[in-house]
Structure 1
Amino acid sequence: MRERTCAPNPNLLESMRSVGYDLNTAVADIIDNSIAANATKISILYFGQGEEPYIAIVDNGNGMSEKTAFEAMQLAGNSPNKDRASNDLGRFGLGLKTASLSQARSLLMTTLQNGARTTLRWDLDAVARAGEWTLEQLNEKETLSALPQRVHDAMPVSHGTCILWRNLDKLETLAGRSLREIDKAMEELTGYLALVFHRFTHPYPDDNIRQIVIDVNGCTIPQRDPFLRDNPAVQTTGVQRISTSGATLRGYTLPYQNRLRDEDRQLLNLSEQRGKTLTDTQGFYVYRAYRLITWGSWFRMLPKKQATKLSRVQVDIPNSLDAEWTLDIKKSRATPPKIVSEVMKRYVDRLAKPSRRAQQFRGRRKNDDPYAPVWDIVNDRDGVFRYEINRSNPYIASFLDALTVEQQKTFMEMAKILSATIPYEDMQSRFAMDQRADNFTLNDDQARVFAKQMWTLNEHMGLTPERFVEYFRNTEPMSLCRNGEMILKEVSHV
């Protein structure tokens, strides 16, 4: 048998551009390398008015020696099967090159270690002209000439690395050439990085990692937390470990949207935009070494429904499970192995129940008394329901008693029309987009009028003052007044 060496053609660099990165996943891949190099500050810089287009990622990490830098620029410089440190977010040894070249035709890396600088550059046009794997090495003068002034000023003095992208053909094709369009793309990038690296920029108390700062053109990325861990209204479950895999699960049930504070909505980054509603973002949040890999999916274990939109599950996996979770090159998709998915399925079935309860009761005091609600829910066959005015509610009943027979008939006809025209579909659409209803509340003066009316009616009901207060404090609409019980006591002289 005869063997021949079959080296890849330099055109492979062009083919690598179509792996599937977008700007967000490409920049995130570079940040992974910075975190693995123990950086505590990472700056993303991009061009301004009058500058030649560029994007740079600068960190204050360990930096690299000349030998290590060359290996980093080599295709598949590291085996995916190689043992790595627990904080190493790389895998295939391709991320730096594939991520960078997916967005730009020129990739320059300049790195400092102990004050010694190494600068290397892949230029696709130069490789095409030479027809060879020509990696350029720049001296100090050439490096200073290649770096934009802002990038040069951001470089650390003794150790750190800068990745500089030039000739941004893919970004210009997708986002356009105007600075306004680039600003919009970078704004979306900022939101993406804020979520993906939120446990690095704002670690949870039980996270064993150092805090880092990430900024874009000098502006620190916003804080995000898909679980609202600082909100006392969030329901949590204990941590569950999955056999000996090292993976863990922890469930969260968010408060009903009407109970979300403004700061909660900012932490969740909620909006009507697709992918940013509670319904869209429910599901598993899979973290690999604290870095968010994939989110907003139940992995076909549950359908996305309104009833479970408050449920989220934090899944932590170590980087030693990459092969089992079939992590892709972009580190933007992972699929749980069968032994893990079975545990996840049982776990999420239990977790969905608090979400349904949170939406059903919405924080209102529960009362099984049939006279309490103003509206009755009537369940028909085949899962169909409707709302009707509850004639037995004391306030409705007292109002009807004050009307003539003809007026009562007219009122009930009007009530039927109101019940039949409740805009269910519009309400469902608005709740799906996480809009908040303006909850009606009685002020004290309004509540006092109702209380006096009920106390007068009580002459026929025969309730003691104590029983009167107990009965009506949980009855709509008195239950909608903050000081309802106090006013009832005042009126009944308890």
Structure 2
Amino acid sequence: MTTDWHFDVPTAGSKRLPPDARYMEALSNQGYAFEVAIADLVDNSIDAGAKDVVIHFLRDGDQLVSLLVVDDGKGMDESSLDVAMTVGGRRDYAANALGMFGTGLKSASLSHASAVTVVSTTKRTRTAGRRWLMEHAMSNFQCDIVAPAYAQTLIDRYDNRRPIEWQGTVVRWDGVKDFPKHGGGGQTDRYLHRTINKLGLHLGLYLHRFLARGDFNITIAAEDVRTGTIYMNFGVEPLDPFGYPVSGHPEYPKAFTISVPSFGGITLDAHIWTPKSNLDEYKAVGSVMDRQGFYFYRHDRLIQAGGWNSFRQPEQHLSLSRVAVDLPDRPSDVFRLTVKKAGVDASPEFASALETATDPQGSTFLDYLTSADTVYREARKRSGTTRKPVLPPGKGLDPAVRETIEEELPIIAYEEPIALRWQKLDNELFFHIDREDRTIILNQHYRAAILGGRRGGLNDAPLLKSLMYILLHQVFEKEYSGSREKDNLVLWQSILVSAARSELDKVGDDG
């Protein structure tokens, strides 16, 4: 029998196959970063018309207990709340809504917490609440109904201190996986400082157009529920990735138009940043390789910050190039958003169309890339030095240090970076060079003395590791070491072992 491949597969009826309850576990393991998950919740607040959003970390002494996202949006009645807490719940999204798939609240929350409680009130309906407990969700999709008295108590808590006045919503996370298990020794304070700073930068960047309007505010705060003390209370500032004081090139920005056969025209706003900028607006996105490329927006919300989407590989010489693209409202196969709204998959049609993109004067998009490259190179020339390209620094070195190295030194493209890590070695050695794994190994025996009692981690001892990278990166850039280099390695080894032992002696004396 021959098969006609031009027609649909014939069927003989259908049957209903509902998802297994373990689907919730899969939903909660989509790799949401903490700040991405919080941004997803703030998106819901914006869709609800909120003017004020408060992200509230609650602690009891040294122990962090809960995280809440509170807004003064229009709120939800019981039926709307049931839809919001249903996985893939169908609701009518406004034309300019940030929500899309009906999974963000659940997947973002349960990626980071063992329970998510949502309590909401409107001007015309009583306060209602629902709770997903991960244990119940995985077993039988059972969503708890929050006791009305408690739901009202939670709303009243924020009615007295803003942002809720007549209406609003509270999303509460309990059992947050990222919170320190033991808060003693200043761990909780360090965690809050690090996390709040990172969260503020992320929200300031991805929601910068909303924050710049003046009628929308995000506040991040921490409160000790035992004493009522509120601290680390600050407003998130907008970080416009195109907010340079002066353009890096007098002819830019320019608007380029591309024509995608299956879709139509798309506008690209091409910018060239000021060279050697230290502004947060420039540095808020990853490394110099990460922050170049396309910045896709959907309904004024930044979805992707940097990346060339298969058009080309990133290069250090293009680190000043940024292109703003406002995605069209209508759905298409040209641009597909990830469920986390943390990136855009662009079809090959888009990359091909970039080759012929032009501005009204006839300049091409490729001319723009050449201009960005030239601005970067000329800035290097004006510095009066020509620095030799180096292998990039990798894991084990603090990201801020890696970024500085990548900005100050030309990086050899497409090469594995040099990692740094601690490992047990013979005590006669301070370091070991692993050419095959391209790693500088530091002797674990001397770690505690060098850290001076501070807690160790992947990126600890940044000063020492920076010096080791500067000292040793050339060893990896050559196929073999000559007699002079070998003698230098022996010399450095001897001096560093002696210095490390002196640190150990000082620790012993202090003890």
- Which AA in structure 2 matches 1:434? E
Structure with more of its chain in helix, by fraction: 1
2:331 is the counterpart of 1:321 = yes
Q: How many angstroms apart in 2 are the aligned matches of 1:24 and 1:69?
A: 24
Gaps of 5+ in 2: 1-11, 222-232, 358-364, 393-401, 410-511
Q: How many angstroms apart in 1 are the aligned matches of 2:326 and 2:335?
A: 12
- Which AA in structure 2 matches 1:32? D
Calculate percent identity across the aligned residue pairs.
Answer: 23
Preserved contact between residue 278 and residue 309 of structure 1 (Cα < 8 Å)? yes
**TM value normalised by structure 2:** 0.62
Q: How many angstroms apart in 2 are the aligned matches of 1:201 and 1:36?
A: 14
- Which AA in structure 1 matches 2:378? F
Corresponding residue of 1:61: 73
Query: Displacement, 1:77?
Result: 0.8
Q: How many angstroms apart in 2 are the aligned matches of 1:178 and 1:321?
A: 44
* Residues 324 and 37 of structure 1: CA distance in aligned 2, closer, same or farther (over 3 Å): farther
Query: Displacement, 1:301?
Result: 1.9
Preserved contact between residue 155 and residue 164 of structure 2 (Cα < 8 Å)? no
Match of 1:47, SS?
A: strand
Corresponding residue of 2:388: 424
Q: How does 1:230-241 map to 2 (within 5 A)?
A: 230-231=245-246, 233=248, 235=250, 236-241=252-257
2:121 is the counterpart of 1:105 = no
2:244 is the counterpart of 1:224 = no
Preserved contact between residue 61 and residue 160 of structure 1 (Cα < 8 Å)? yes
Query: Displacement, 1:172?
Result: 4.9
Query: Displacement, 1:114?
Result: 0.9
Q: How does 1:351-390 map to 2 (within 5 A)?
A: 351-362=368-379
Corresponding residue of 1:26: 37
Corresponding residue of 1:433: 406
* Residues 303 and 154 of structure 1: CA distance in aligned 2, closer, same or farther (over 3 Å): same
Corresponding residue of 1:14: 25
Q: How many angstroms apart in 1 are the aligned matches of 2:120 and 2:265?
A: 35
Specify which of 139, 161, 183 is matched with residue 169 of structure 2. Answer: 161
Structure with more of its chain in strand, by fraction: 2
**TM value normalised by structure 1:** 0.64
* Residues 85 and 174 of structure 1: CA distance in aligned 2, closer, same or farther (over 3 Å): farther
2:308 is the counterpart of 1:298 = yes
* Residues 303 and 338 of structure 1: CA distance in aligned 2, closer, same or farther (over 3 Å): closer
Q: How does 1:461-480 map to 2 (within 5 A)?
A: none
Preserved contact between residue 103 and residue 171 of structure 1 (Cα < 8 Å)? no
What does the per-residue CA deviation read over 1:319-348, in whole Å, with 9 as the maximum and x for residues that have no partner? 423654121110112122333332334444
Specify which of 29, 32, 35 is matched with residue 46 of structure 2. Answer: 35
* Residues 18 and 276 of structure 1: CA distance in aligned 2, closer, same or farther (over 3 Å): closer
Q: How many angstroms apart in 1 are the aligned matches of 2:45 and 2:172?
A: 14
- Which AA in structure 1 matches 2:368? L
* Residues 364 and 23 of structure 1: CA distance in aligned 2, closer, same or farther (over 3 Å): closer
- Which AA in structure 2 matches 1:252? H
Q: How does 1:235-384 map to 2 (within 5 A)?
A: 235=250, 236-243=252-259, 245=264, 247-257=266-276, 260=277, 265-269=279-283, 276-321=286-331, 323-347=333-357, 348-362=365-379
Corresponding residue of 2:229: none
2:150 is the counterpart of 1:186 = no
Corresponding residue of 1:212: 216
What does the per-residue CA deviation read over 1:412-442, in whole Å, with 9 as the maximum and x for residues that have no partner? xxxxxxxxxx753479999763359xxxxxx
Match of 1:352, SS?
A: helix
Q: How many angstroms apart in 2 are the aligned matches of 1:42 and 1:430?
A: 32
What does the per-residue CA deviation read over 1:224-275, in whole Å, with 9 as the maximum and x for residues that have no partner? 1222254355542333344465742100011221xx4x5xx132236xxxx6
2:210 is the counterpart of 1:196 = no
Corresponding residue of 1:401: none
Name whichever of 1-10 and 182-191 sits farther off: 1-10
Gaps of 5+ in 1: 204-209, 366-374, 376-386, 388-421, 437-494
Match of 2:407, SS?
A: coil
2:18 is the counterpart of 1:45 = no
* Residues 213 and 245 of structure 1: CA distance in aligned 2, closer, same or farther (over 3 Å): farther
Query: Displacement, 1:119?
Result: 1.3
What's the C-alpha RMSD, in Å, of the aligned pairs? 3.6
Corresponding residue of 2:102: 93
Choose 1 or 2 for highest CA Rg. Answer: 1
Which structure has more relative contact order (CA 8 Å, sep 6+)? It is 1
Match of 1:190, SS?
A: helix
* Residues 232 and 149 of structure 1: CA distance in aligned 2, closer, same or farther (over 3 Å): same
Query: Displacement, 1:147?
Result: 7.0
Q: How many angstroms apart in 2 are the aligned matches of 1:305 and 1:364?
A: 18
